[in-house]
């Protein structure tokens, strides 16, 4: 894939994973729309990236905002890449607590809306825009990369809502890839383990030590730049489609309570 002249929308584009991805795509010569609800952080970050980056404020569940991001991406290049890395910390209770209190359903709804509905909304609207692109030599018109999590496969205590959301990303990836094959759009997902973003950096030290203890090799947290490099590898590999790729240092997952922890991405 030749990146010059192309453009992308990165949702959560000023966050840890999204920010590293936006930076890498700009380095590759692409125009990048940083799609992000947190205006101050996103504006400063976009200025840092330079002339090839544009900030569009908005939420990924807001169709009008998504369409504004798409229109801006079409203005600055051939829009054919969508990376979805938006997410915020939502503390989740256990399914039921020892005093007989059940999990709050609104928290569950909020988690699924943020981490599953939003990425799918971005995917469907971006794919519709990609359908109008001129295909390349493989017939490809676009690529969508969503963010799952190792929690999709190995959910921890107090992760029922988060794990359900990320399992949904894994489940839709192959189905979406097959749906979009007829218009030449690929769909993949990345399932990070513990990546040292600012969010995880603020977690309790005992929790961080436990998470690193579960990683086989290298014995450290992942880096956001490694997520971005995997995005690049997916873009450069047209035969890679419908797959969810774990990025976790061969992590094993003995029981680790996620009480009070931010979402691990």
Active-site residue among 35, 45, 162, 227? 162
Residue 190 near residue 198 (C-beta atoms within 8 A): no
H or E element, residue 108:
helix 105-112
DSSP 8-state code for residue 134:
P
Task: Measure Cα distances from 98 to 25, 102, 103 in Å.
Answer: 48, 9, 11
Distance CA 189, CA 216 (A): 22
β-sheet bridge partners, residue 55:
34
Indicate if 162 belongs to the active site. Answer: yes
Q: Which of 121, 123, 122, 95 is nearest to 108 (CA)?
A: 95
Distance CA 20, CA 89 (A): 19
H or E element, residue 84:
strand 78-84
Contacts of 165 (CB under 8 A, 6+ apart): 111, 112, 114, 115, 116
Measured in whole angstroms, the distance separating CA 52 from the mean position of its chain's CA atoms is 21
Measured in whole angstroms, the distance separating CA 265 from the mean position of its chain's CA atoms is 8
Active site residues: 162
């Amino acid at each position: 894939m030749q990146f010059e002249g192309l453009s992308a929308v990165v949702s959560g584009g000023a966050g840890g994973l999204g920010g590293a991805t936006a930076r890498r795509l700009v380095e590759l010569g692409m125009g990048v729309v940083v799609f992000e609800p947190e205006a101050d952080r996103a504006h400063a970050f976009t200025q840092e990236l330079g002339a090839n980056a544009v900030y569009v404020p908005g939420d990924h569940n807001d169709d009008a905002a998504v369409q504004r991001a798409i229109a801006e991406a079409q203005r600055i290049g051939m829009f054919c890449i969508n990376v979805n890395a938006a997410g915020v910390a939502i503390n989740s209770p256990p399914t039921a607590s020892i005093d007989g209190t059940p999990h709050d359903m609104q928290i569950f709804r909020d988690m699924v809306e943020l981490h599953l509905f939003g990425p799918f909304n971005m995917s469907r609207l971006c794919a519709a825009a990609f359908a109008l692109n001129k295909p390349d030599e493989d017939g490809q018109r676009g690529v969508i990369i969503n963010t799952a999590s190792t929690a999709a496969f190995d959910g921890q205590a107090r992760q029922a809502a988060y794990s359900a959301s990320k399992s949904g990303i894994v489940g839709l990836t192959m189905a979406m890839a097959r749906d979009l094959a007829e218009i030449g759009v690929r769909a993949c997902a990345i399932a990070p383990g513990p990546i040292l973003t600012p969010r995880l950096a603020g977690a309790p030290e005992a929790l961080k030590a436990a998470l690193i203890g579960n990683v086989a090799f290298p014995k450290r947290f992942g880096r956001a730049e490694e997520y971005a490099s995997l995005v690049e590898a997916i873009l450069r590999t047209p035969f890679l489609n419908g797959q969810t790729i774990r990025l976790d240092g061969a992590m094993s997952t003995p029981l680790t309570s996620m009480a009070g922890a931010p979402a691990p991405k």
